A and B are shown apart, each in its own frame.
Chain A
Amino acid sequence: AQTVTQSQPEMSVQEAETVTLSCTYDTSESDYYLFWYKQPPSRQMILVIRQEAYKQQNATENRFSVNFQKAAKSFSLKISDSQLGDAAMYFCAYSWYGGATNKLIFGTGTLLAVQP
């Protein structure tokens, strides 16, 4: 069965600094997708970045980038130049095509605090 593990329940970073959030996953699938979602206090789930497993190049979206290590089943999120608005719960998620639709499995989340 597929699982997603986030081992850091809470993290803190100074404004303008860089922080890395960790995520590991377990799967026997060869074709899948990985995501980082952000959930601010409003609780709206916002997609931050996605990574296709077949792509070796790490995805980047402005200040957000990932370090995807397929063999190690590791998928970390790096936030550069942290801003106060980055404070939120961050969820790592794994998706695969389950025969009828795509399914998402989420980790338990990392609560990121940004200090001014």
Chain B
Amino acid sequence: SQTIHQWPATLVQPVGSPLSLECTVEGTSNPNLYWYRQAAGRGLQLLFYSVGIGQISSEVPQNLSASRPQDRQFILSSKKLLLSDSGFYLCAWSEIGQAGYYEQYFGPGTRLTVT
């Protein structure tokens, strides 16, 4: 069966420091991968998605970047964190294939607090 991992679970970082959040998927090959952010009291916002190694699409302009160095690894980064980067970050994956719907499965999330 497929599983999705995220780490760290919780992170407290000062403003201006770098960031690296990691997401890995097991039990599937060549998945679509997604990064979402959930601000306090809000719904989820899609930040990035990837349909293959090295292929990253950004949905909103921001202080963050994403990379996919391996098939089942998705990394969210920042060179200098802002206070507004605080939030709950969720990684998700889905099958890849022909046009049509493939369900997204979410990881346990990372709570980031920028101080």
Contact = CB atoms under 8 A, between A and B. Distances in A.
B43 interface: yes
A97 B100 CA distance: 6
Contact of A91 (B43, B46, B59, B102): B43
Contacts, number: 57
Contact of A102 (B41, B43, B57, B104): B104
Contacts of B41: 108-109
A108 B43 CA distance: 4
B58 to A, nearest CB: 13
Interface stretch (A13-21, A45-53, A57-65, A78-86): A45-53
B44 interface: yes
Contact of A95 (B51, B57, B96, B101): B101
Given A44-B106, A44-B108, A45-B106, A104 B101 contact: no
A50 B109 CA distance: 22
Contacts of A97: 99-101
A45 B104 CA distance: 10
Contacts of B94: 101-102
A102 B42 CA distance: 21
Interface centre among B45, B94, B106 (most CB of A within 10 A): B106
A101 B101 contact: no
A106 B12 CA distance: 26
Interface residues of B, number: 28
A45 B41 CA distance: 15
A59 to B, nearest CB: 13
B90 A45 contact: yes
A61 B34 CA distance: 26
Contacts of A102: 32, 94, 101-102, 104
Nearest to B99: A97
B44 A104 contact: yes
B51 A100 contact: yes
Given A95-B101, A97-B100, A109 B109 contact: no
B49 interface: yes
Contacts of A50: 103
